[in-house]
Structure 1
Amino acid sequence: MQSEVSPSLSVLLVEAFYGGSHKQLIDLLKENIDGCCVFTLPAKKWHWRARTAALHFSQTIPSCPSYRVLFSSSVLNLCELVALRPDLARLKKVLYFHENQLVYPVRKDQERDFQYGYNQVLSCLVSDVVVFNSSFNMESFLSSIPSFMKKIPDHRPKDLDRLIRPKCMVLNYPVQFPDVSRLLPKHKLLRRTANVDDQKPVSDQDPHQPISGPTTDPHQPTSGPTTDPHQPTSGPTTDPHQPTSGPTTDPHQPTSGPTTDPHQPTSGPTTDPHQSTSEPRTDQDPAGEAADQVKPLHIVWPHRWEHDKNPELFFNTLLKLKERRLDFHLSVLGETFTDVPEIFSEARRLLDSHILNWGYLPSKDDYLQVLCQADVVVSTANHEFFGVAMLEAVHCGCYPLCPKALVYPEIFPAQYLYSTPEQLCKRLQGLCRRPDVARRHVVAVDTCSYSWAALKSRFQTLLADEGP
C-alpha cells in the first residue's frame, strides 16, 4: 500500500510488515498526525520482509522535497534504505521497536539467525531516535548487544550499545480501548464505582479472608508508562522453564473455522481440532448479581496459538485444577497459524466440559464480549515485549495473572505476578474456590495511561521536525 504524495506531506510512515499491532500503529498515526504519507508491504513472509523490504521501498517511495521525518518499525533495515536513498538519509529518522531480535525466543540459540538482530543494530546506528514500546524491550536489546556481537569470529565492533543508548527512549504502544460498558455484566459495572480501598491478592491458603488494599512490592516497577529511557531495568529476564518456540517464523493469516451456535455447549473437536468457533459464548446468568457471584470462574487465554506463549504451562495448570475437581469455565481465544502446537487439540479434548469459547473470533465486538464476561485473564508467555491482549482484558474487567518476568513487572503490580508454575496453579485454585473474589476486585492498573488519548501528544512531538 502507498499513499499519494503531495507537497504538503512531511511525515513518511514506512512499514515492512503491515499487520497486527504494526498496522494498528501506522493507521493510528496516519489518522491523527497531519501530513503523513504511508508506504507498506503486506504482513506475510516475515523473513523476506526483513531481508529485502529496504530495496523495495528504495524503488517505490518517490522523491518529495517536503518530507521531514521518516518513521519505521525495526522490521525494516533502515541502514540499507538510507544508503540506497540518500535523499531519505537527511530526514529525521525514527525507528520503533515492537520487538527485538536479540532476545526473541528460539528453541536453540544455534537457530537464531544473526542477520536479523544485526540489521536492527545497524538500523539503530543510522537512526536519530530509537523508540521502544517498553523499558524491558529497550534494556533487553541494549544489554544483549555486547554478547550478540561476540558471535562475530574476529574484528568485532565495540561499544555499540553506548553509541545507541543516547538515542533511545520508551514510548508505550498506544492502545485504542473501546467503550465496553454496554458489554459488561452487572457486577463489573457496579465494581467500577465501588470503593476499592480494601483489596489484596487472593491466596489459596485462606480464601475466606476479606480483600484488603493492593499489595505492592517496593522493588517492582510501578504500572504506567516509563518515560525515562536511561533508567536501567533488570535486562532480559529469562524464564527458568525455557521457551519452546522456534525461530521467528513467518506469521500467517488466522483461521476462523466453522460458525457454531453460541448457545450450544462445545462438544469437543468433531472435525479439525484446530478450527475455531466464530461467535462468542457467554456464561452470563440472567438471574442477576446473586447468581453472578456463585457461577464457576471464567478463565480466558487470549494469545497467539504459538509455542512462545507457552500454552503447555497454561493447559497443564488447568488439567491440575480439573484433577482436583475444581469447577471453572474456559475461553481460549487468539489467532491460529499454520503450525499449531499439538497441546491445543489434546487440551480441547480433555477440557471439553469446561470450554465456552475456542479459537479466533474475527469480530472485535465478539472478542470484547468474551473478555467482558470472563473473570480472570492468564498469560504464560515466554516472550512478551508489551502485551496488548492482557491490557485489553484488564480494560474489560478481568483479573490478570502474569509471569514475574519479561515486560509484566513494568505494567502490573506485584499482586498480579507469579514466579513459578506452582504459584500460578495455587492462585487459580484459590480463585476457583472463591470466584466472587475476582469479580469484586478492581484491578490496580491504570489502562488509561496506555491509551492513544494519553500518548498522542508524545507521538506528535516525536514526529515533529524539531529534532529528537
Structure 2
Amino acid sequence: MERLHSGSETPTSPRVLLLEAFYGGSHKQLIDLLRENIDSCSVFTLPAKKWHWRARTAALYFSQIIPACASYRVLFSSSVLNLCELLALRPDLAHLKKVLYFHENQLVYPVRKDQERDFQYGYNQILSCLVSDAVVFNSLFNMDSFLSSITSFIKKIPDHRPKDLDQLIRPKCVVLNYPVQFPDVRRLLPRHKLFPQQQMNPDDAQTPQAEVHPEGPEQEGLDQSMSNPTTDQNTVSEEHSIEQIKPLHIVWPHRWEHDKNPELFFSTLLRLKEKHLRFHLSVLGETFTDIPEIFTEAKHLLDSHILNWGFLSRKEDYVRVLCEADVVVSTAKHEFFGVAMLEAVHCGCYPLCPKALVYPEIFPAQYLYSTPKQLYKRLQELCRRPNVARTHIVKVNTASFSWNCLKDRFKALLAV
C-alpha cells in the first residue's frame, strides 16, 4: 500500500480523501492529477496487481489503514473499490460527500461467455452507486451502457429481485471526461507533422484537411513558434520526399490483454504482409500477468516490420514513438474512454477505431470502421499511400479532453 499526500508536507487537516484500489495506468494518472491540484488531500492506494483481488478485498484493507480524521469532508474513489463495504466497516466515513468515478463498468465488460461473468463485481458497483452522492463516468457510453444494463443484470438473481435500481442511481450520474495531460510535443514532431499543409501532394488533395485544435496552455510555446515559421521550403520539400518513401508506421499503444482484441490487429497486419505491403510496426502498452499468446506469435511473424516492441516506462520515449508513427489503430472489444488513442492523435497520428463503444463519441465517422474487412482495406490503402496519413490534420479537438479544460469541474466536484 502506498500512501501519498498533496504537496511536500503532510496536511495537518486533510479535507479530501482519495482512494484507489488499482493504482496503475489511467487510474494512477487521475489520482496523481487530483493529488497535485486539490488542496489538502490524503491519498491511499494499492498497487495495480491482480485486479480481481483488489475489487474483492480492498475495502477491508483500507478500513484498517485509513486513520480516523474529523477534518475529512469528501471521499473520492474509483469503482474498483466496494464503497458500500468500506462504509459498513468504517461508519465514521459515511457522512462524507462520496464521489464514485467509473473508468469502466463491469456490467458490460467483455467476457468470452456470459456464463463466465462474475456477478459479484457488477453487483458491487451497483451497491457502491447506491451509497454514493455523485456517480461520475468518463464518457456518455460508459454511463449509458451501465444504466441500461442494470435491469437485465439484476434479472440474473434467481428470485426476490430488487426493482428500479437504475431510477435510484440515474439522478446521481454525470459525465466528466477523463482529464488527459497532453505534453508539449513540438520538439519531438517530425517536420511533416509540424507543417502538413506545406507538404500536401496534389494526388492527396481529396483528403479532407481538418481544422487545427490547439491543446491549451501547454501548447502556448508551440503556437507562438508556429506563428512565425522560418522554415526553408527546399528543406521541407526534401524531407517530404523522404517521408513519401518511408513505409507507413503503424502503432498499437494498448494494454496487452484480450479485451483489446490483439488477435484482430495482428491478423490484419499479417494479411498486409501476405500482400507484400510495406509498413513499420510499434507495439507498445502495458503488460500484466497473463499475456495473450498472439503477442509471441506476432513478434516472430512480423519481426522484419517491428521498430518498437513492448512497454516504454519513460513517458518521453513513449511520446517520441507516437510522434514518429503515422497511424494509430484500436481493435478494442472494450473501451470506455481511450486515453492512448487521444495521446496518439495529439502526437499527429491518424486514428482508426471501431464504430462502436466510446469511439463515435470522440472520433468523427471518417476515422471509424465497422468490420475487420474495412480495417484491412483502410490500412491497405494507407500502406500504398502513406502520405495521406502524414498530411492529414485529424479532426478531433483534443483540447476538450485536457486537464486544463476539465480541472475546474473536478475541483467543483470535490468541493463541499
Whether the aligned pair in 2 keeps the contact of 1:7 and 1:66 (CA below 8 Å) is no
What's the CA shift string for 1:319-350, capped at 9, x where partnerless? 11112221111111112223222222222222
Structure 2: stretches of 5+ with no match in the other structure: 216-235
Q: How does 1:196-207 map to 2 (within 5 A)?
A: none
Letter in 1 for 2:351: P
Q: Does 1:464 align with 2:415?
A: yes
Q: How does 1:37-186 map to 2 (within 5 A)?
A: 37-186=42-191
Match for residue 242 of structure 2?
A: 291
Q: CA deviation at 1:310?
A: 0.8
Letter in 2 for 1:316: S
Q: CA deviation at 1:293?
A: 2.2
What's the CA shift string for 1:44-67, capped at 9, x where partnerless? 122221112111222221121211
Label 1:439 to 1:208 Cα distance change in 2 as closer, same or farther (>3 A).
Answer: closer
Whole-angstrom distance in 2 between the partners of 1:313 and 1:329: 17
Letter in 2 for 1:341: P
Q: CA deviation at 1:287?
A: 6.0
Whole-angstrom distance in 1 between the partners of 2:143 and 2:69: 32
Q: How does 1:215-254 map to 2 (within 5 A)?
A: none
Whether the aligned pair in 2 keeps the contact of 1:214 and 1:415 (CA below 8 Å) is no
Letter in 2 for 1:159: D
Q: CA deviation at 1:2?
A: 2.6
Letter in 2 for 1:211: T
Q: CA deviation at 1:208?
A: 5.8
Q: Does 1:212 align with 2:203?
A: no
Which has the larger helix fraction? 2
Counterpart of 2:108 in 1: which secondary structure?
A: coil
Size of the alignment, in residue pairs? 387
What's the CA shift string for 1:118-167, capped at 9, x where partnerless? 00000000000000011111111111100110010000001100110000
Whether the aligned pair in 2 keeps the contact of 1:309 and 1:383 (CA below 8 Å) is yes
Counterpart of 1:175 in 2: which secondary structure?
A: coil
Match for residue 368 of structure 1?
A: 319
Match for residue 384 of structure 2?
A: 433
Match for residue 249 of structure 1?
A: none
Q: Does 1:398 align with 2:346?
A: no
CA RMSD of aligned residues (A): 2.2
Whole-angstrom distance in 2 between the partners of 1:3 and 1:439: 42
Letter in 2 for 1:313: L
Q: Does 1:2 align with 2:3?
A: yes
Q: Does 1:355 align with 2:351?
A: no
Task: Give the TM-score normalised by the residue count of structure 1.
Answer: 0.79
Match for residue 419 of structure 1?
A: 370
Structure 1: stretches of 5+ with no match in the other structure: 200-206, 216-223, 225-284
Q: Which of 339, 346, 354 in structure 1 is aligned with 2:290? A: 339
Question: Percent same amino acid at aligned positions?
Answer: 77
Whether the aligned pair in 2 keeps the contact of 1:133 and 1:385 (CA below 8 Å) is yes
Whether the aligned pair in 2 keeps the contact of 1:132 and 1:172 (CA below 8 Å) is yes
Match for residue 228 of structure 1?
A: none
Whether the aligned pair in 2 keeps the contact of 1:50 and 1:75 (CA below 8 Å) is yes
What's the CA shift string for 1:421-457, capped at 9, x where partnerless? 1110111111111111110000000111111100000
Q: Which of 375, 380, 391 in structure 1 is aligned with 2:331? A: 380
